[in-house]
Amino acid sequence: MTADRGGRPGSRVLLGIALFAGTLMSMCGGALLADFALDLVGVASPPVRLVVKVVAMAAALPAGFYLVERAFLARSSTRAASRK
């Protein structure tokens, strides 16, 4: 039954690695953007900086998943079109 689907070898491993890397990069990006914005505003309170960084990292996670998903959908659609 799984042979009928025609999956590419290693695509699940590649997706897992891409999701892990996307998660790390989105968290780092969210923290960097929050730090930059807090520096521009002039916030010096460590608790406030920590809360804003955590919120920014949590908000950036869906963006990382979205970008990885888009990349894999584009990859699978170009491969499917080339097989026809």
DSSP secondary structure of 38-61: HHHHT---HHHHHHHHHHHHHHHH
What does the domain layout of the chain look like in residue ranges?
Answer: 43-75
Give residue 11's pLDDT: 81
pLDDT at 12: 84
Residue 78 has pLDDT above 80, yes or no: no
**What's the pLDDT at 26?**
93
Per residue in 7-55, pLDDT (tens digit) is 566 688 888 898 999 999 999 999 999 999 999 999 999 999 999 999 9
Quote the pLDDT of residue 2: 52
What pLDDT score was predicted for residue 75?
A: 79
